[in-house]
Structure 1
Amino acid sequence: MRLLLTILGILLFASSSFAQKFGYVDTEFITSKMPEYAKAQQQIDQNTKTWLAEVEKKKQELEKLEKEFKLEELLLTEDLKQQRLSAIQAKGKEAKAFENQVFGAEGELFKLKQTAYKSILDQISKAIEKVVRAKRLDFIFDKANDGLVLLYTNPVHDYSDYVLEELGLELDPNLVEKTKKEEAQEQKSPKKN
């Protein structure tokens, strides 16, 4: 009976020592407590309001030109009509270009957010690294996003190079040497049945 309990204890200890530890954080909650984030958000909101006002002003100017054209269309010669229409089109393109420049995928708003949040995200990342080391975690997820986002992974659990090897793609030369040494050791050691 004692032997059975000893073996069971060893098995439980061995299985728990190989277990991976997971954790999660809520970045929305964390950033809501950071004064730097509130300040950055306020700056972004102010710039966004200014840019929206400029976009609205350009749209109103375009609408004014279109209304004036409709009122005077019957009185204009064909050349003047074409001139006004091209001026309206140019104003429309200008308004659209400004809107894309500010609110587009790589626009001013995107750049402003990137620079404003960079130091905050760096602080959070460093804090996560410290917590991971202190708590000996292997994975950290962020529950604030729609789907769970992986914020940290222990590189020990990255098997990308092995998948590349299986696919026959180029590997890191250091890993190739390590793999060859492991395979050579496996062949030298006697197999247990």
Structure 2
Amino acid sequence: MKKNQLLFFAIALLGITFTLQAQRGVRIGYIDMEYILENVPEYKEAGTQLDGKVQRWKADIEKKQAEIDLMKLTLTNERVLLTKELIVEREEEIQIKEDEMVAYQQGKFGPKGDLVIQRRQLVQPIQDQVFNIVQDIAEAKKYDFIFDKSADVVMLFAAERNDISEQVLRSINRVEKRKEATSKREKREIQQRDNLSTEEDAEVTKREEAIEEKQTAREQIMNDRKAERDSIRAAKKAEYDAKRARLLEIRQRKRDSVQAVRNGTPWPPEENGTQSPPSNALPSGGEEGDGGNK
């Protein structure tokens, strides 16, 4: 009896140990697909282009609807002047236009429309890439489960330390950098980054961001100084141009005055267009008076 109790206790203890080890050993991670997509430049650029198409499609639908509304209004105003046959013909034309608009709308925004298809085509390559990267991370980091936070899976709590979205995003960016790398040095630097752990890579990224912020601040200071120099230079140039214009005006007035004296015209000219007599002209009747005196 005592031996059976010891055996039962040993089996129970062994089972509890295995259970605790299994519970401690399970690693669960998650990603946020929406966050990843928002930070992939290619997806953002393609999404902007798709948004432009959507706006054009909406404008086309609004235009078609405006044409239909105008046809209905015209028919209402002219109904009393039309025969039954013409009324039926107009109504059929309106119905055809409405059917065409509905078909166009379904073709663009319906469940199987261009918007759904193109959005799927836009997301699918990135989703495939994320899936492959998640597989690699799961095998390298010994994760047992990795969920998508933005999917329909209900997650009542998710510790931030289990979020591997940044790792996935960095891997995607590295793939793009590999494609853009042309020199052996660039490829070697990318390979060195791949060999870093998550913590080391985050530290390197933080240092790079700090260097980039300093570079941006330095460039801003240089731009501000350049703008200040340009402003001072522009003010001096404006002052010089104004002074030069005044000197040219004075010089021209002197030339005009000399020319006026030579031509015997009054200077300065009167604004009302009347001319004053020349300064060397005699008063009217002066010569006759002098002749009489003589």
State how far apart, in whole Å, the 2-side matches of 1:64 and 1:13 are. Answer: 78
> Partners in 1 of 2:114 and 2:15 — Cα distance?
60
Cα deviation, 1:86-110, whole Å, max 9, x if unaligned, reads: 0011111110010001111011111
2:21 is aligned, of 16, 20, 31, to 16
What is the Cα deviation at residue 147 of structure 1?
Answer: 4.1
**1:65-80 pair list within 5 angstroms:** 65-80=71-86
Which of 32, 43, 47 lines up with 1:37 in the alignment? 43
Q: CA deviation at 1:12?
A: 4.0
Q: Secondary structure at the match of 1:105?
A: coil
For the pair shown, the structure with the greater C-alpha radius of gyration is 2
After superposition, where does 1:95-106 map in structure 2 within 5 Å? 95-106=101-112
CA RMSD of aligned residues (A): 2.5
TM-score (ref. length: structure 1): 0.67
Q: Quick one: which of 28, 45, 53 aligns to 1:47?
A: 53
Q: Which has the higher contact order (CA 8 A, sep 6+)?
A: 1
CA contact (8 A) 1:55 1:95 kept: yes
CA 1:10–1:102: 2 relative to 1, 3 Å: closer
Tell me, in whole angstroms, the C-alpha distance in 1 between the residues paired with 2:146 and 2:109: 32
Determine what percentage of the aligned residue pairs are the same residue: 32
Task: Give the distance between the partners of 2:55 and 2:83, measured in 1 at CA.
Answer: 41
CA–CA separation in structure 2 for the residues paired with 1:85 and 1:10: 80
Letter aligned with residue 16 of structure 1: Q
Moved over 3 A (4+): 7-15, 17-20, 145-149
Say if 1:142 and 1:148, in contact at 8 Å, map to a contact too.
no
Pairwise CA distance, 1:10: 9.7
> Could you tell me how far 1:121 is from its partner in structure 2?
1.2
**13-22 or 123-132, which moves further after superposition?**
13-22
Q: 1:130 to 1:148 in 2, by over 3 A?
A: farther
Name the SS of the counterpart of 2:108 in structure 1: helix
In structure 2, what is the Cα distance between the partners aligned to 1:134 and 1:17? 19
TM-score of the superposed pair, with normalisation by structure 2:
0.45
1:72: Cα distance to partner? 0.5
How many residue pairs end up in the alignment? 144
Quick check: 1:100–1:107 contact (8 Å CA) kept in 2?
yes
Structure 1 counterpart of 2:117:
111
Unpaired runs of at least 5, structure 1: 1-6, 150-193
Secondary structure of the corresponding residue to residue 73 of structure 2: helix
Alpha-carbon deviation of 1:82?
0.2
Q: How does 1:122-161 map to 2 (within 5 A)?
A: 122-145=128-151, 147-148=153-154
Quick check: 1:40–1:117 contact (8 Å CA) kept in 2?
Answer: no
Cα deviation, residue 146, structure 1: 5.3
CA-to-partner distance for each residue in 1:97-126, whole Å, 9 max, x for gaps?
100011110111111111112211111111
Q: C-alpha displacement at 1:36, in angstroms? A: 1.4
Q: Does 1:82 align with 2:88?
A: yes
